[in-house]
């Protein structure tokens, strides 16, 4: 009887890195046998110029502070000069370098002026973090306003906040310049509602789903131009735009907050500082050079829970 089992092929594997295909010239390789590069600080952002739009808010501010601590020169970009200067002072007190730049993420002319001013003061931006966004009561489902009664104007306001000002216009302004220089990292802020629509906040959920989709689109478009585009999905972090939903007037957790706690394995809200590590990682060319089109979830396990 003739056996149909073939003997294993003997294949000679060349030593690293000479076996790496020569047709991939842009691939980064360690020198043969040299692991010294791995001992460097992968999260060192020295030499980076990070523009954080919405750094006047809690989540954007925490990310701006962390990037500055990691060595980046940070442009605190926003509409509120008083809060912006306070953030700059906070960063300075922590030993970082930052400067406030007036910027309206909904205004292309304002974004262009901000871009030019940052370039002159701090250098060409290499990191863009889009932390502008929010919700609007005109687009929240309530007993008095069911889904079918939501006005188009309310829907548009939320999409303008999260998709137009939170991604489209800033990426149109800063992205092409990064592509022209051949490097850059863009970080967008998604949401757990990008993955699972939450009750009541229909327009917010839909707009954040669009942010996740657009992030992946840009990651594909700009990957060959040296620009990485990723997103972060925060879980529930108390902030100005959601405080009324999460807390009663006396400061106790609302019924909705209790439901969130029950659905979050860690059983609590996140602190803004817990989002910062993901931002530093995605900003770092050393740590995340092959990471694009990814979404990092920082939610205490919320999205991993079903029944």
Positions of the chain with pLDDT under 50: 8, 10-27, 29-33
pLDDT at 114: 98
State the first-to-last Cα distance of the chain, in angstroms, to the nearest integer. 56
Q: Please pick, among 204, 236, 269, 281, the residue that the annotation labels catalytic.
A: 204
Q: For 45-235+273-300, which CATH class?
A: alpha beta
pLDDT at 35: 52
Angle between helices 202-222 and 169-181 (to 10 degrees): 20
User: Are 243 and 251 contacting, i.e. CB atoms less than 8 angstroms apart?
Assistant: no
Sheet holding 97-102, edge to edge: 97-102, 73-78, 49-53, 127-130, 184-189, 227-234, 295-298
User: Are 60 and 188 contacting, i.e. CB atoms less than 8 angstroms apart?
Assistant: no
Chain centroid, CA 123 distance in Å: 21
∠ CA 171-177-179, nearest 5°, is 90
pLDDT at 183: 97
pLDDT at 82: 97
Give pLDDT tens digits for 4-33: 555 545 444 444 444 444 444 444 544 444
∠ CA 109-169-96, nearest 5°, is 85
Using alpha carbons, select from 104, 55, 108, 97 the residue that is nearest to residue 79.
Answer: 104
Using alpha carbons, select from 165, 275, 171 the residue that is nearest to residue 227.
Answer: 171
User: Are 198 and 208 contacting, i.e. CB atoms less than 8 angstroms apart?
Assistant: no
pLDDT at 25: 46
pLDDT at 37: 53
pLDDT at 245: 73
Pairing of strands 295-298, 49-53: unpaired
Q: How far apart are CA 202 and CA 209, in angstroms?
A: 11
pLDDT at 250: 85
- Which run of H or E residues covers position 88? helix 81-93
Both tokens of 47, joined, read 């030499």
**281 carries an active-site annotation:** no
∠ CA 138-143-144, nearest 5°, is 55
- The length of the chain in residues reads 307
Both tokens of 179, joined, read 């592509």
Q: How far apart are CA 133 and CA 208, in angstroms?
A: 9
pLDDT at 30: 44
Both tokens of 75, joined, read 């442009």
Write down the domain spans for the chain: 45-235+273-300, 239-269
- Supply the pTM of this predicted model: 0.85
């Amino acid at each position: 009887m003739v056996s149909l089992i073939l003997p294993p092929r003997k294949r000679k594997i060349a030593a690293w890195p000479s076996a790496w295909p020569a047709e991939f010239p842009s691939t980064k390789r360690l020198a043969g046998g040299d692991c010294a590069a791995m001992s460097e600080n992968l999260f060192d952002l020295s030499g980076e110029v990070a523009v954080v739009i919405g750094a006047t808010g809690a989540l954007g501010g925490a990310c701006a502070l962390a990037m500055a601590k990691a060595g980046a020169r940070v442009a605190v970009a926003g509409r509120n000069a008083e809060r912006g200067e306070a953030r700059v002072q906070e960063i300075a007190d922590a030993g970082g370098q930052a400067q406030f730049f007036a910027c309206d993420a909904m205004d292309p002319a304002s974004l262009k002026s901000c871009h030019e001013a940052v370039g002159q003061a701090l250098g060409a931006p290499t990191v863009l973090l889009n932390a502008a966004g929010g919700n609007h009561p005109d687009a929240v489902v309530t007993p008095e306003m069911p889904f079918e009664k939501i006005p188009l104007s309310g829907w548009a306001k939320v999409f303008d906040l999260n998709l137009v000002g939170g991604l489209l216009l800033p990426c149109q302004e800063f992205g092409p310049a990064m592509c022209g220089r051949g490097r850059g990292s863009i970080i967008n802020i998604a949401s757990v509602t990008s993955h699972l629509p939450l009750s009541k906040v229909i327009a917010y959920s839909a707009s954040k789903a669009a942010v996740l989709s657009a992030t992946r689109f840009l990651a594909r478009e700009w990957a060959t131009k040296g620009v990485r585009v990723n997103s972060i999905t925060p879980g529930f972090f108390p902030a100005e735009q959601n405080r009324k939903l999460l807390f009663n007037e006396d400061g106790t957790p609302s019924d909705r907050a209790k439901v969130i706690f029950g659905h979050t394995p860690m059983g609590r809200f996140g602190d803004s500082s817990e989002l910062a590590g993901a931002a530093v990682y995605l900003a770092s060319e050393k740590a995340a050079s092959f990471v694009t089109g990814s979404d990092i979830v920082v939610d205490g396990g919320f999205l991993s829970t079903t029944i």
